[in-house]
A and B are shown apart, each in its own frame.
Chain A
Amino acid sequence: MLDALDKKLLRTVADLEGIPKGAYNIRKNGKLLARDVSANINIETNADGTGIIVTIKPGTVNESVHIPVILSQAGLYDVVYNNFIIGEGSDVTIIAGCGIHCGGLEPEGHAGIHEFQVGRKAKVTYVEKHFATGPGRGRRTLNPTTKVFLAEGAQAEMELTQIGGVDEANRVNEAILGPNSVLLITERVMTEGEQTAVSRNEIVLSGENSRANMVSRSVMKGDSKQNFYATMDAQAKCFGHIECDAIIIDNGTNETIPALKAKHPDAELTHEASIGKIASDQLTKLMSLGLTYDEAVNRIIQGFLK
């Protein structure tokens, strides 16, 4: 059912060696390839057949769902709408990811629109990896959107990674935080050659004592370009922080625009941003430990994107 190429893509984007255990939904070239549900996690196709609805029963703990997408069909642009309903008091991990293998000249792409309803005191960890490969010169596009709604006391931890090979990415992350909820987003993007990546983040801290932390790490190699926009909109007593660091290698360019909006007198918002080449003291230190210049660069980037 899975060929060697599928397995390679799955291993890269979902750390899967084959069909996973527990609940999963594997989508290949715009169609369902395999699915399984568990006692607490249900997966069904939505009414208009454009995506899936993953429903997690209240109180489900220590379970995970894998929902990888793999593309290896030239000329396909796959759009999918997925909904996640995470029941009260549950604690689950969702592993998504998209792997594209492009063998020809025609473009391939995927847009995943993921919406999360995280119930009261529920906790979700969402891991998403994007990766493209293949000998073809067709343009590979990935345009993911995540929308997160956190109920009272809910927590969401999102790890969004674009490892390499993606020519164009337009990412949108939106979140609305209820009272006492916590959101942590870590985004890591590496681009090279002529690639471009744009990330737009709109985080609304609407509930009292909500907390959000957005961490962005960007590496631009070659002539690639990345833009990062993040807005923390504080509408209650809350805490928000944006940390965005970009490392330029070669001739990469970057625009980073963090925005803080305090619409409540007790809002506490901070940001730190940096763009630049690798600090020379870091390179010198690693070279003094015996690494070559190139090895030192790689090691620093590897840590930075870890």
Chain B
Amino acid sequence: MKNPLVSVLIWIAVVLLGSAALGGIALNRGESINALWFVTAALCVYAIAYRFYATWIATKVLLIDPTRATPAERLNNGRDYIPTNRWIVFGHHFAAIAGPGPLVGPTLAAQFGYLPGTLWILFGAVLGGCVQDMVTLFYSTRRNGRSLGQMARDELGAIGGLAALITTLFIMIILIAVLGLVVVNAMKHSPWATSTVAATIPIAMLVGLYMRTIRPGRVLEGSLLGVILLLLSVAGGGWIEHQQNLRAFFDYPGLPLAWMVIAYGFAAAILPVWLLLAPRDYLSTYIKLGTIILLMLAIVWMQPNIKMPALTQFIDGTGPIFGGKLFPFVFITIACGAISGFHALIASGTTPKLLSNERDIRMIGFGGMALESFVAIMAIIAATVLDPGVFFAINSPAGVVGKEAADAVAKISSWGFPVTVAQMNLLAQQMGEATLFARTGGAPSLAVGMASIFGSAFGQGMLAMWYHFAIMFEAIFILTTLDAGTRVGRFMLQDMLGNVWKPLGRTSWYPSVLLSSGIIVAAWGYFLYIGVIDPNGGVNILWPLFGISNQILAAIALCVATGILIKSDKLRYAWITALPLTWLIIITSSAAWEKITSTDVRIGFLAAANDLATKLASGLLSPEKAAIAPQLIFNQRLDAVLTLFFVCMLWLIVFDMLRVCVRYLKGKPVPPLSEVSHHLAGMEKAWRRD
């Protein structure tokens, strides 16, 4: 900005507009509020945070140095270390961090009303998530793109490193299970969705073959071919839906679908990457970016009204989608979109190896997360534009509201969210589904929300098409995360097993590949299986577990960052990471405490296990429930142990960080900073050439 006065005036206007929009959202208690308020408030908050907070962190705390050569410049090998244009890096980074998390979490958390989720997404992102991503990206860049686990080991010690590694492996397993459950619930008894999702597999393979043998490396051609085929598969699914003899091939209940997903995950982990994983990822990235942009445009254009109240009565912990009070569960349910530990794994590793200048760290680290947070805001809009009655009818498990449509409708209406069976049937018919009752997991309700926004923007006649496009959009990148996660889990496990017996560490030795893939798939497959047979939907167990583990990973990343800040004599600035860290410790510990000790069977794992055990012993369960009860009881106890384990890991690394910091401040020896020494940007290549 040339003129400082104009700049000041513009920023004052942004602050006023943002405050007005936020105030409007927070204080509105009327019938409905326009979605444009959410978009305005979000954009103003991100703009202010980016311009002032991120700039301050970059210049005063991290001392970002544009004259310092980045690893991409110093180690440029044309393959993984490549200095790249910052918009391109931004694109890669955003495509890597934005997965299904910011779409599913806010949808589930909408049971509390629109306000808590929105505020947490906005402020959690600019004060927590964006800072975590930016600081991790910076420290990893200064360490040649080392991973979070390696940084934890170098800066804090072996204990920190091990805790980071084990937590990463566990969170991956929980993440894959819960995402698998979301896909299974979206495909349950839906030949259209199942056939479309199934078609993505041969399409990806076709694209893989094209890019390997027919036209090697022609990424754009292959992707274009794939995207066209994917869109055709959505239409083709609609055709199959209406063929009586064909639809039977794709009409399955949850359990067989879960087994198929498990078998698929195993196959994907052992097949070569070029055949399935890499081409599928190209397709999912395009579909993902395209759909997000389309949704953004549709919301701004249509300006839909939010029908959910600001707060619902479920802040008291009696919510049908998941049990638990507003505090701490809204902060656990919305991890991605506000603060997500997984991002630290992307921000350390791949992205730092592409940066051409340290100056880009603010835009890519802070800006990338702000954009993901905006995606979460759009997910909350898509969930809350639905009639609340419809939203609860789709998302409430049968175990809570009853199996029969009439019971569910009566129960949901009694909460003050009127809905009728006729309304739900009409909606299901419009969306081309047999039923929309108890379609838990967030994907179907998000798809209904997206379809109604797209439908009103681009024509109502294609609602069913939009619905299944949205399902395909979610499923394709969930399956990519599932493939990629299983594979990475396999490598991590092989790494660990290699310490026990050398040959197991060889990533190309087939017995080891089969064994380690099998272990990883069995681990997430178990949680997926239990999630599917659980009459309460499984999501209410798995999603909080995932949230807790993801937030704990974020806490680990913030511990590493805080430790480095203090060791770099920046104690007075350490609050930028210590503050979100403290908040994460509070919410994860209290959520874990409640999940373990609560006597409410819908919250406490042990309470639920004991309740079920008592009922089983006294013969109160129906035969079909009694058959699965022992498995459910075991699972609830296992979940309690797992939660306890996660919290122990968290406290272990927090104390390890504090120990290192106290020792440093007392002048005692600590692991030295592992930062790579300063090389002047622009000099390296001239030097190498001479």
Does A associate with B in a complex?
no
Interface residues of B (CB under 8 A from A): none
Interface residues of A (CB under 8 A from B): none
